Chain A
Amino acid sequence: MKPNQLFRSVPPVQTWLLATWLLLTWLQASGVAFGQGKPAANPGATLFEKQCYGCHNVGGGKKTGPDLMDVTTHRTRDWLHKFIPSAQGMKNSGDKFAVQLFSEFSPIVMPDQTVTPDQIDQILSLIDELSAKKQSFAPGGGRKLRKPTPKDIPKGRMLFTGETRLRKGGPPCISCHSVQDVAVLGGGTLGPDLTQVNMRRNDADLTGVLKSPVLPTMSKVYLKAPLMDEEVVQLFAYLQDVKGRTPQPTQNSSRFFVLGAFGSLMLLSLMNFTWRGRLRGVRKLLLRERQP
C-alpha cells in the first residue's frame, strides 16, 4: 500500500458509523431516551423515585428520612440546594436545622447526593406540585403487569425460597429476608422480616420495591439482575398472602442459636466418641492416681 492511498482508503462504512455515533450522542444529550419511544412523563418524578423515594415519602409519612410534604414552604430553596448535595457538610458547619435533623434520624446519615442544581429544581417543583394538591407520591414502578391470582402464591413462595431461580439470576429473597412460613430456620437476617411487609408499605410501594429496589443494599444487588414483571406479580401475591401472620424474628434468631448450640454439642460428643481412646496425658494422671 502506497502512503497516499492511506487517506483514500477510509471506507464509507466507517464514515457512517461515525455519523451514527454523533447522532446518538446528540439524542442522549438532548434528553431523548433513545429506543423507548417517548421521554418520561415527568422527569422530576423519575428522579424522585430513583434518588429519594428509598428514604423519603411525600405525604406517606416518615420512612428512613422525614416526609417531604411541604418541605419547600418550611425551608428556603437556597437552603435545600445547599443541603441536598452536601448534607453532612451542612451538619459539620453547624447549621442549626441540619444538626437537629441528624439527631432526630440518628444513626442514619443522609448521604451526599450527586445531582445537578437543575435536577434539584425538578425534584423540588414535583414536591411543590404534590404539596399544593395535597397528593401523595405514587411511584411509577408501582403498576403491575396483571392482577395476581391465587395460583401465583405457591409460585411466589418458590421464588422467595429460591426453589425456582429468578430468571435474570438475582439472588432469592430468602438469602436476606425471612417470612413466617419458610424453612425451619427461617431466612436470612440481613434484611427485615417480610411477614408484615404489606402493613408497612402500600401495594404500589411494594410493587415498586420489587420492580426496582431503591433501598441501598437491594439496589446494588438487583442492579444488573432485576426481577421480571411476571416474577414481581408472583412475589407480590406471595407476600400479600403471608400478610397478617405475626412475625417473630426474635424467636427465629434464638431458634437458630439453640439449633447451632445443639449441633455443636452433638458434633463434639461424636468426636469425643470417635477418639475415645486418645492419649489424654500421662504425667497428670500419674499424679492424680497418687493423690487419694
Chain B
Amino acid sequence: MNVRLQMSMVFHLDKCIGCHTCSIACKNVWTDRKGAEYMWWNNVETKPGTGYPTRWEDQSKYKGGWESNGNGSVHLRASSKSQTFANIFFNPDLPSIDDYYEPFTYRYQDLFDSPEGPDQPTARPISMITGKPMNIEAGPNWDDDLGGSPIYAENDPNFTDVTPEEKEALFQLERMVFFYLPRICNHCLNPCCVAACPSGAIYKRGEDGIVLINQEACRGWRFCVTACPYKKSFYNWSTGKSEKCILCFPRIETGQAPACFHSCVGRIRYLGGLLYDADRIEEVMQSKEEDLVEAHRGIILDPFDPIVIEAARANGIHSTTIKYLQKSPVYWYVKEWKLALPLHPEFRTLPMLFYVPPLLPIMSTVQDGTVDMSQGGLFAPVEQTRMPVRYLARLFAAGNEGKVRYSLKKMLAVRLNQRMKNVGDIDPKLVSAMMAELDTDAEELDCIYKLTTLASEKERFVIPPSHREEAEEMLQEDLWGAKGEAGFGLLEKPVRGL
C-alpha cells in the first residue's frame, strides 16, 4: 500500500445557480494577463450544451484522455511516444482559438472621441488578441441557459444513450430543463497531460497531488492541451508556455480556500484531503467502463482505518493531517455517502473533482394555494426526473445508471426525511422503505442534510496544514538539492521570442 494525499473537491450541482462568480474570481486572480485572455481555468457550462471549448467531450475530435486497448492496458488517445516525436513541430490535434472563442473587449474611448452627430456613439468590439475590430461570434459561455440551443445544446455529446423521445421532450418549451456544470482542472490521479508532456514539465505535487506545469521547463509543445480530455491545459501565446489551474496552491498552503471556492455564491464547493492507494491506480484505470466509478471509489482509503493511518505516517503524512482528512467533506460525499461522482470517468484519468448530480424535479404546480404533492409533483420518484438519468449517467458514471440513480435517490430521501420531520405530510413508511433500499439510516441522512445546507466555511473547506516546517527540514537534509529545487520564482521571465 502506497498511501498518498490528494486535495480533492466536490461540487454540489443541485446548489449551483450558474452565476459565474467563480469564473470571474479566477479570471481576476490568474488569467487577466496578455496571452491568457481566452483562458478560463474555471468555467461554468450549461448542460445540455457544448461547453468550452465547443464540444470538448467529443474525443473523436479532440483526442484527449486514455483509451482502453480492450486487453486491459490503456494508451493515450492522441499519440504514442513515437507519434509525439514525429509530430513535435506540428501537433495535429489542437483546438483552434475559434473552438475556445476569440477574446474581446470594447473600444470605450470611441464613446468619448466620436464627433458630434445625430447618432449615439458606440464602443466597437475589438479582439483582445489582435486589437482590431471584430464580430463577436462566440464566448466562453455562449450557450449559457440554453442560448442557441438548436446548435449547441442539440449537439451535446452526452445524448448518445438518451432516446429520441426523451431528447425531444427536453427541448419542449414547457418541459425545458438544464443545469450548470462548473469545471476546473480535476487534478487527476493519472493525468494525461503529465503523460503526454515531451518536456517533462508537468508534475503532480507529492504533498497534495496538485498538478502543475513548470514554466521554466515548458517548451510549449502543447501536447498537454491535446491530451487533457477536459481541455483544462491552455497555451499562452504570449509567453509561449502552457498554463493550467493551480488550485490556488499559494492559498491552500496558507489554509485558505482557492479563489473560486471562496467566492462561490451558492456554496456548492467543498474541499478536503483524501488518502488513496497509489499502487492501485493502474488497476483502476484498466477497469471496465461500468466498473469505473466503483473502482475509483475503491482506491480512496478510509482515514479512520489504523492500517491506513500507519501507512500514511510511513509515507510522511503528518499525524495532524489525518484529523483533517477524517473531517474532509469530500471523503464523506464521495466514499461514505456515495453521492458525488467523477466527471466522465471513461476518460480514465481518475479525476479528483467529484460532482453531486442535480436532482431536478422541481417543476411543481400550485393548486388552490398548495404545492402538488402527488406522484410526479414536488417529490417525484427518481425515475421521473426531468433530466434523463441516462444523460447524467453518461456525464458522471460512464453510462452506469445505477450509480447516478443511487445518488439521486439518496438526495430525495434526505428531502423526504426533512419534510417528514418539519411538515409531517410524508408517510414515515415511505421514508423507512427508502432508507432500507439505500442501506442508510436517519442519522446519515441528517448528516447529509447538514453538510449540504448548513455547513460553515470551516466545514466546507477542510484544508490540512501544509507543514512547511517539515518540508523545510526535508530540504535542509540535502542542501545541494535545496539549492536546485527551492527559490523565489522564475529565473527567467516567461517571455516569448528573443
Contact B92 A277 (CB under 8 A): yes
Residues 220-278 of A contacting B (Cβ, < 8 Å): 275, 277-278
Contact with A along B87-115 (1 / 0, CB 8 A): 10010111110110000000000000000
User: Is the CB of B19 closer than 8 A to any CB of chain A?
Assistant: no
Interface of A is mostly: loop
Contact A282 B53 (CB under 8 A): yes
Least CB separation from B96: chain A residue: A281
Question: From residue B76, how far is it (CB to closest CB) to chain A in Å?
Answer: 15
Least CB separation from B61: chain A residue: A282
Measured between alpha carbons, how far is A282 from B156 in the docked complex, in Å? 12
Measured between alpha carbons, how far is A278 from B61 in the docked complex, in Å? 9
Contact A286 B50 (CB under 8 A): yes
User: Is the CB of B150 closer than 8 A to any CB of chain A?
Assistant: yes
Contact B63 A279 (CB under 8 A): yes
Residues 153-174 of A contacting B (Cβ, < 8 Å): none
> What are 28 A-B contacts defined by CB distance under 8 Å?
A275-B90, A277-B92, A278-B92, A279-B61, A279-B62, A279-B93, A279-B94, A279-B95, A279-B96, A281-B99, A282-B53, A282-B54, A282-B55, A282-B58, A282-B61, A282-B99, A283-B50, A283-B53, A283-B54, A283-B55, A283-B98, A286-B50, A286-B54, A286-B55, A286-B151, A286-B152, A290-B150, A290-B151
Size of the A side of the interface (Cβ < 8 Å), in residues, is 11
List chain A residues, Cβ under 8 A from B96.
Answer: 279, 281
List chain A residues, Cβ under 8 A from B365.
Answer: none
Least CB separation from B78: chain A residue: A279
Contact B92 A282 (CB under 8 A): no
User: Is the CB of A284 closer than 8 A to any CB of chain B?
Assistant: yes
User: Is the CB of B199 closer than 8 A to any CB of chain A?
Assistant: no
Residues 53-78 of B contacting A (Cβ, < 8 Å): 53-55, 58, 61-63
User: Is the CB of B248 closer than 8 A to any CB of chain A?
Assistant: no
Contact of B151 among A277, A281, A287 (CB under 8 A): A287
Contact B92 A279 (CB under 8 A): yes
Contact A283 B99 (CB under 8 A): yes
Contact B95 A284 (CB under 8 A): no
List chain A residues, Cβ under 8 A from B55.
Answer: 282-283, 286
Question: From residue A38, how far is it (CB to closest CB) to chain B in Å?
Answer: 59
Measured between alpha carbons, how far is A17 from B138 in the docked complex, in Å? 87
List chain A residues, Cβ under 8 A from B80.
Answer: none
The residue among B87, B94, B96, B138 with the most chain A CB atoms within 10 A of its own CB is B96
Measured between alpha carbons, how far is A279 from B231 in the docked complex, in Å? 14
List chain B residues, Cβ under 8 A from A281.
Answer: 96, 98-99
User: Is the CB of B155 closer than 8 A to any CB of chain A?
Assistant: yes
Question: From residue B52, how far is it (CB to closest CB) to chain A in Å?
Answer: 10
List chain B residues, Cβ under 8 A from A277.
Answer: 92
Contact B155 A286 (CB under 8 A): yes
Question: From residue A253, how far is it (CB to closest CB) to chain B in Å?
Answer: 32
Least CB separation from A276: chain B residue: B92
List chain B residues, Cβ under 8 A from A275.
Answer: 87, 90, 92
Residues 180-221 of A contacting B (Cβ, < 8 Å): none
Measured between alpha carbons, how far is A277 from B87 in the docked complex, in Å? 13
Question: From residue B149, how far is it (CB to closest CB) to chain A in Å?
Answer: 11
Least CB separation from A283: chain B residue: B54
Question: From residue A28, how far is it (CB to closest CB) to chain B in Å?
Answer: 50
Least CB separation from A287: chain B residue: B151
List chain A residues, Cβ under 8 A from B98.
Answer: 281, 283-284
List chain A residues, Cβ under 8 A from B138.
Answer: 283
What are the 3 closest A-B residue pairs judged by CB atoms, nearest first? A278-B92, A283-B54, A275-B92
Question: From residue A193, how far is it (CB to closest CB) to chain B in Å?
Answer: 39
List chain B residues, Cβ under 8 A from A282.
Answer: 53-55, 58, 61-62, 95, 99
Question: From residue B91, how far is it (CB to closest CB) to chain A in Å?
Answer: 9
Measured between alpha carbons, how far is A281 from B138 in the docked complex, in Å? 13
Measured between alpha carbons, how far is A278 from B62 in the docked complex, in Å? 9
List chain A residues, Cβ under 8 A from B62.
Answer: 279, 282
Measured between alpha carbons, how far is A288 from B292 in the docked complex, in Å? 36
List chain A residues, Cβ under 8 A from B94.
Answer: 279
The residue among A275, A279, A284, A286 with the most chain B CB atoms within 10 A of its own CB is A279
Contact with A along B125-165 (1 / 0, CB 8 A): 00000000000001000000000001110010000000000
Least CB separation from B138: chain A residue: A283
Least CB separation from A278: chain B residue: B92
